[in-house]
Structure 1
Amino acid sequence: MELQVLGCSGGIGAGNRTTSLRLGDNVVIDAGTGLADLPLAELARIDHVFLTHAHLDHIACLPLLLDTVAPVRTTPVTVHASQSALDTLQRHIFNWQVWPDFTQIPHPDRGLLRYEVMERGDTFTLGELTLTALPVLHTVPAVAYRMDSGKASVVFSGDTDDHAPFWQAVAAVDNLQTLIIETAFADHEAALARASRHLTPQRLLAALGALPGGLDIRITHLKPFDHELIMRELTGQASAGLQLKRLLQGDVIRF
């Protein structure tokens, strides 16, 4: 299985794209601005969108995706998310004011958009791939995702504060290869990070100490103006043997 990083920044500008990861050719995790760089034919092949939560940087391109592929698709795109996130989409995005309700287009009986609830602990299987929603702590209801190819697993945190149930779930993954974990703010913005339920280098490193060694750990969702500082703080404070890399647009993780 291949996981392609379409976007992984905590902001825009200077080539930065917000969060979107592609599994194979028909599944994406979050629909941030990175999704917009795919060719039209590849956009049209997306059948499933799994959302970590409904904040704008993670859903920005979902409405535009549906509008773009509508003329060429004959089956709906299924959006998997918590009931809270789906309610937000219905109430605030696909409401005929901000954007058309694609559950009713092109016909109420044949909508291009289909919702499927996926709460913490739920699993969804596509061929050999199994996705499981894991608990995280953010300012709105949110989940992380475990992606299991049958040979190895990748865990993507989405947006989260330090959260014991998340770390317990990560530690329980018996075939964990890669952890993609957010660190949105540098240590000098610890108060803002706590208020917005994001991690800082100091708090992430404290939590990583409980995990086994040898993991491939990728850092995502860095704020653009501080991304170099965040990585310096992480690598400068990391214990010996802990290998941390910044997740980059264009990265491909095979598992």
Structure 2
Amino acid sequence: MQLHCLGTAGYHPSETRHTSCYFVPETGLLLDAGTGIFRLPSLLKTDTLDILLSHAHLDHIVGLTFLLDILYQHPLQSVRVWGEAEKINAIRTLLASEFIFPVELPVQWCAIDDPDHASGNQTFEINGACVSWRRQEHPGGSIGYRIHWTNINEPNSPDSGATSRVLLYATDTVGATDEDTLHWMKDVDLLLHECNFHDHQVEWAIKTGHCYLDRVAQISAAASPKRVLLTHVNPIDELTLDKGDERFSMPCEIVSDKQVIEF
């Protein structure tokens, strides 16, 4: 499977990074809808698009207003936007107001905390993927997603037959270290975790509800993912990572726009 990094910055775009947006073409699953979503049309392989929103801050949702051009370039049978009910209501009331955006967005809105969509719990299905979610600490609240794909056929893989992949997406969070959350984060192929601040900026991280490198290292050590990808990069003070950082026992890197991750 492939994860396409369409936007990797936090807060606002820079000369080299757009805001949060990640795509898995094989399943038509998009994580957040930041400004990087404009890169989506050439990557679409399915007739449907499912967008999982971590929260409703502008850098993660403004790309929803780009959907008219995206669907003009590549028509789809359906587009579903998933998120917490109160965040969806805010988007529909404010971002989709006729005073801000002139036409109704051509999407189906799906509340993950609505029993009609989530079966009364924190797990639901999207196109063969089992999606579970947990609330995270962030101003206004955010959601972390664990996505588990099963029965993936990879004929060129050394391991014959069907296999599975697990991706965990945790952005706009101070970084949870409680036992229950760390257990939920275990046994994933990719941990896509935000790291907006340097270690010397802990005070700013706590104040703004974001994460810093040492906290991500603690989480990674406890959850033991196969690979760690750092995202939501500060657009004016980019993080640097020492490849020999002994706090990470697994491969760890800062992702870049237009990077393609095989997993």
* TM-score, scaled relative to structure 2: 0.79
Specify the code of the residue in structure 2 equivalent to 1:116: C
- The C-alpha deviation readout for 1:81-139, integer Å capped at 9, x for no partner, is 00121021012111111113526xxxxxxxx2221101395333234322222232111
What corresponds to 1:56 in structure 2? Answer: 58
What corresponds to 2:3 in structure 1? Answer: 3
- 2:223 corresponds, among 187, 211, 215, to 211
What is the Cα-based RMSD across aligned positions, in Å? 2.8
- The C-alpha deviation readout for 1:120-168, integer Å capped at 9, x for no partner, is 9533323432222223211112111111112120101021112245x63
Structure 2: which 5+ runs fail to align? 151-163
Distance change >3 Å, CA 127–CA 202, structure 1 → 2:
closer
- The C-alpha deviation readout for 1:154-184, integer Å capped at 9, x for no partner, is 101021112245x633433564111011010
What corresponds to 2:108 in structure 1? Answer: 114
What corresponds to 1:136 in structure 2? Answer: 136
Instruction: Tell me, yes or no, if the aligned pair for 2:142 and 2:172 is still in contact at 8 Å.
Output: yes
Q: What is the count of residue pairs matched by the alignment?
A: 242
What corresponds to 2:207 in structure 1? Answer: 195
Instruction: Tell me, yes or no, if the aligned pair for 2:198 and 2:239 is still in contact at 8 Å.
Output: no
* Other structure's SS at 1:226 match: coil
CA distance in 2, matches of 1:44, 1:68: 14
- 1:183 corresponds, among 173, 195, 199, to 195
- The C-alpha deviation readout for 1:195-244, integer Å capped at 9, x for no partner, is 110011122223333233x6201111111332244x24xx5754363432
Instruction: Tell me, yes or no, if the aligned pair for 1:205 and 1:238 is still in contact at 8 Å.
Output: no
Specify the code of the residue in structure 2 equivalent to 1:113: V
* Other structure's SS at 1:149 match: strand
Structure 1: which 5+ runs fail to align? 104-111
* Other structure's SS at 1:14 match: coil
Q: Alpha-carbon deviation of 1:67?
A: 5.5
Identity rate of aligned residues, in percent? 21
What corresponds to 1:90 in structure 2? Answer: 92
* Other structure's SS at 1:84 match: helix
What corresponds to 1:24 in structure 2? Answer: 25
What corresponds to 2:158 in structure 1? Answer: none
What corresponds to 2:124 in structure 1? Answer: 124
Distance change >3 Å, CA 201–CA 78, structure 1 → 2:
same
Specify the code of the residue in structure 2 equivalent to 1:133: W
What corresponds to 1:154 in structure 2? Answer: 167
* TM-score, scaled relative to structure 1: 0.82
